[in-house]
Structure 1
Amino acid sequence: MNIIKRLQHAIKNLRSTNKSQSIALNNLYKFLGIEPDLDERVLADATYFACMKVLCESIGKLPLKLLKYNEKNGVETARKHPLYSLLHDRPNPYMTSTSFWSTVEYNRNHYGNAYAWIQGAGRHMKLWILPSEDVEVWWDDAKILADQPDLYYLYSAGGKLYRFGSEEILHFKSSNTLDGIVGVSVQDQLKSTIQGGVKSQNMLNKMYNNGFTAKTVLNYTGSLNDANVNELVRMVEAYGKGELSNEGIENVIPIPLGFSLNPLNIKLADNQFIETKQYTALEIASAFGIKPYQIGDYTKSSYASAEAQQLSFYVDTLLYIIKQYEEEITYKLLSPHEFNDGYHFKFNVSVILRADLATQIDTLSKGVAGFIYTPNEARAMLDLEAKEGGDKLLGNGASIPVELAGTQYIKDATNQTNEGGGKNNA
């Protein structure tokens, strides 16, 4: 079977499978009372948007560097490698590194998976983000797409279907996955919770539009036909909503003689609206791994400093995400020969763990005095130029190698013995 027939057969199976799955999911959502089209309005929830913003900007602000282990067991930046500028500066002609990785992180969270096509190789390599909703991941164990079983990515665009092998796509998935291949999005995990947040915000918006006027019961004696009742109700609502404010009528509702309005007051406090909304926000933030203070909730903040907050966010949330990025990029973009030579990609997390200037200088000074940094290495961390003679390790003159520790006392004891013996002989 040639590749065209294989693809046609795959498309037919894909469409039939997707159609049956879509019907089953819609029926399940309706049974659970969940709206199937929630995805289009999920960003209306402020907490969801805030969490997405925090993660996308956090990944986007981290510089991605290509490093190499040298012969001295140290690490140096491989700036001359053709992939350094690609990942660090501009993955493709239309996107900066910041916007590229922010977009990848957005897709990874919102859809559960993010895909980037690797076009070309070496100096001509470019990375292109594929819309996550248009990509299907297939494990071709039946050898429908090729003669060898492999993981394939089918991308549909413009009425055409494109096939990519596993080595042609950078695939970043969410931390929640059932098979280790495809991730599960946060909105699928918390569909009912996010839906409740959207509905609560819509209710609040509606109350604002109504001028916080509650529903009322119009009492009257006598009989009115339907047309008169509808007209009377329409006018009362117009007065209550402030629609006649341009005519100078804002706070008065005229009622005919023999009529009375009895409001059906529904107080937000009585229904614990604020508490419920806050709890929903914390649930959504927890699913993203976002700390409460990052969405404006400081009621239970117990961090000693801003540095402690950033360190907790890095360890608890970003470390897993960053490690996944580094492993996928290193494996897919570097050849086995380059990997064996010590090349590897690494995000510079110091930009989010950076302390204030006084703490930075104090820490670097101790690093230079302790033979950890050369003066020029410490100056580079402060974005200062290198100085002549600054490439040598300096430190406290009282420091000695560990293998010589204690020898000074042996020497002193020998000198004292010799000196004592001379005096006795004299």
Structure 2
Amino acid sequence: MKFTSRIKNAYNAFIGKGVYTDRNLQQLLDFLGIDAKNEKDLSEATYYACMRTLTESIGKLPLKLYRKNDKNGVVAARDHPLYNIVKDRPNKFMNGSIFWGTIEFNRNHNGNAYALIDGYGKNTQLWPLDDSKMQVWYDDALILGEIPDIYYLYSAGKKFYKFSSEEILHFKTSNTLDGVKGIPVRSQLKNTIQGNVKAQSLQNKLYENGFTAKAVVQYTGSLSDESVQTFLAGIEDYATGKLEKAGIKNLIPMPLGATLTPLNVKFTDNQFLELKQYSALQIASAFGIKPSQIGDYTKSSYASAEAQQLSFYVDTLLYILKQYEEEVTYKLLTPEEIESGLYFKFNVSVILRADLKTQIDSLSTAVSNFIYTPNEARAFLDLEAKEGGDKLLGNGAAIPVNLAGIQYQNETGGE
């Protein structure tokens, strides 16, 4: 039996009836100083660059609670107890940016992200849950409850907790076979990511060896296998820089009659950089990330940073944000509140904000055409409200369309 298998069995015996996971085993092996390769461990730069882009994009957008009023308008529902909880402090340990960023990271990396809804009203707290400890069951046989529902079984230590679908916020990737659980992006890109990891490992080894690849040693005479190994080991110590501490860096001593012929590896001949760049673009494409967002500006065709952000919002973020808004609205609000016009929505103006000159021109146009009041426009620029600035202003020459041309008619009927 392999030593890692014995550790695995010992770990299972140690936790009793707890749930075994590869993640926990890896932590135990790391603690014991055992080098056991974990296939879930990813050290691919492009993968985490894409994860960072999505995580920070979601984290920087405020999730606000709005209410539709009787005038067919929309106002922020600041008086509702969930307004500040969801936007600023989902739980006592996390602010809004960290919480929603954590949820987005788990959603992409694990395929599913879960958050427990703890409490009600002003006492509500949202707690992210570990995907590796969660099981999702559809109980159509009425084993777990009296009505068919999706139940979430969560293990914490030696305890199991059962939650109904109303108690868990569940966010999943866009790739799902049953509509209940999502498929991780890393599962779809397993071969591509593994190839990039191996390519990076090769590059690291070449750096460590001073870009000296394999070599052929020619020597005269006959040596036993043991002598050959000792002979080659000494040459390799010199070639790979293991004797740098002794002051020997660039010299390789060769005995009389021996010749060292390096087998050089040329990245250009193997199209190493081109293949690595193509793999990076494949990973970014799976996440919906634009090449320029991972540092590839070779084919950038956007007229401005604003146009680039708009494309990212429409092509990538819109679907993700809509899923978040629908799930949070349905799970956190009562049917009566939803019926009354309450709903959650991300404020995307944070990422679509233009330069100052464009903002001023747009707001000025909106104010002069009865769209914004001056104080509403000033609020966009983080300026205080002014007295008399709550009235709609505009061009007095504008008239309703049904009255167009009336100024040319003779009200008395005469000529």
* 3-state SS in 1 of match to 2:307: helix
Are the structure 2 counterparts of residues 201 and 334 from structure 1 closer, same or farther at C-alpha, using a change threshold of 3 Å?
same
Aligned residue in 1 for 2:395: 396
Give yes or no for the alignment of 1:339 onto 2:338.
yes
The residue correspondences of 1:361-372 to structure 2 (distance < 5 A) are 361-372=360-371
Aligned to 2:56: 57
CA distance in 2, matches of 1:244, 1:185: 45
Question: Is 1:88 equivalent to 2:87 in the alignment?
Answer: yes
2:216 equivalent to 1:213: no
Matched residue, 1:111: 110
Which range is displaced more, 399-408 or 161-170? 399-408
Give 1:403 shift. 2.5
Alignment of 1:92-241 (within 5 A): 92-241=91-240
Aligned residue for 1:48?
A: 47
Separation in 1 of the partners of 2:251 and 2:288? Answer: 50
Distance 1:337 1:386 in 2: 34
Structure-1 residue corresponding to 2:39:
38
Distance apart, 1:37 and its partner CA:
4.1
Deviation at 1:398, TM superposition (A): 1.8
State the Cα distance separating 1:246 from its structure 2 match.
Answer: 2.9
| Structure number having the greater helix percentage | 1
Instruction: Structure 1: give runs of 5+ residues left out of the alignment.
Output: 1-17, 20-34, 422-426
- The share of aligned pairs that are identical, in percent, is 65
Query: The residue matched to 2:39 in structure 1 has which SS?
Result: helix
Code of the aligned partner of 1:38: E
Q: Tell me how far apart the structure 2 counterparts of residues 147 and 330 of structure 1 sit (CA, whole Å).
A: 25
Deviation digits for residues 46-87 of structure 1 (CA, Å, limit 9, x no counterpart):
000000000000000000100000010000001010000110
1:25 maps to which residue? Answer: none
Matches of 1:199 and 1:125, distance apart in 2: 46
For 2:98, what is the secondary structure of its paired residue? helix
Determine the C-alpha separation between the residues in 2 that align with 1:188 and 1:377: 47
Q: Aligned with 2:352: secondary structure?
A: coil
Matches within 5 A, 1:350-365: 350-365=349-364
State the Cα distance separating 1:117 from its structure 2 match. 0.3
> Residue 366 of structure 2: SS of its match in structure 1?
helix
Deviation at 1:237, TM superposition (A): 1.2
Does structure 2 conserve the Cα–Cα contact (< 8 Å) formed by 1:193 and 1:284?
yes
Output the TM-score relative to the length of structure 2: 0.89
Q: Does the aligned pair in 2 maintain the 1:368–1:393 contact within 8 Å?
A: yes
- What secondary structure does 2:265 align onto? coil
Could you say what secondary structure the match of 2:101 adopts?
Answer: helix
Structure 2: unaligned runs, 5 residues or longer: 1-18, 21-35
CA distance in 2, matches of 1:176, 1:267: 39
C-alpha distance in structure 2 between counterparts of 1:397 and 1:246, whole Å: 85
The CA deviation string for residues 82-122 of structure 1, in whole angstroms up to 9 with x for no partner, is 00011011000000000000000000000000000001100
RMSD, aligned CA? 1.6
* Equivalent residue number for residue 9 of structure 2: none
Q: Is this contact kept in 2: 1:38–1:195, CA < 8 A?
A: no
Task: Describe the superposition over 1:101-144 as per-residue Cα deviations: whole angstroms up to 9, x where unpaired.
Answer: 00000000000000000011001111000001111110011111
Read off the aligned partner of 2:230 and give its amino acid letter: E
Distance of 2:81 and 2:324 partners within structure 1: 19
**SS of 2:166 mapped into structure 1:** helix
2:384 maps to which residue? 385
Deviations 1:214-245 (A, max 9, x none): 10011101022333322221221121122222
What is the rounded CA distance, in whole Å, between the counterparts of 1:398 and 1:235 in structure 2? 93
Structure with bigger gyration radius: 1
Deviation at 1:196, TM superposition (A): 0.8
Shift in Å, 1:299: 1.1
Distance 2:200 2:158 in 1: 38
For 1:38 and 1:295, locate their aligned partners in 2 and report how far apart those are by CA, in whole Å: 24
Are the equivalent residues in 2 in contact too, given 1:62–1:351 (CA < 8 A)? yes
1:67–1:76: 8 Å Cα contact kept in structure 2? yes
Amino acid at match of 2:254: I
SS of the residue aligned with 2:409? helix
Greater shift in the superposed pair: 398-407 or 307-316 = 398-407
Structure 2 letter corresponding to 1:111: N
Paired residue secondary structure (2:392) = coil
- Could you list the per-position Cα deviations for residues 158-211 of structure 1 after superposition, in whole angstroms to 9, with x for gaps in the alignment? 011110000000000000000111100101111111111111111111111111
* 1:70-81 correspondence to structure 2 within 5 Å: 70-81=69-80
- 1:36 offset after TM fit, Å? 9.6
Q: Is the 8 A contact 1:45 1:198 kept in 2?
A: yes
Q: Return 221-230 or 362-371, whichever deviates more.
A: 221-230
- Distance in 1, matches of 2:376 and 2:61, equals 20
Mean Cα deviation higher: 221-230 or 361-370: 221-230
SS in 2 for 1:84: helix
Q: Deviations over 1:300-350 (max 9, x none)?
A: 111111011000000000000000000000000000110011000000000
| Secondary structure of residue in 1 paired with 2:127 | strand
Identify the residue that residue 28 of structure 2 maps to in structure 1: none
Query: In the aligned structure 1, how far is the partner of 2:142 from the partner of 2:59?
Result: 39
Shift of 1:408: 1.3
Write the distance in 1 (CA, Å) between the matches of 2:153 and 2:58: 27
Cα distance in 2, alignment partners of residues 164 and 279 from structure 1: 44
* Equivalent position amino acid for 2:46 in 1: T
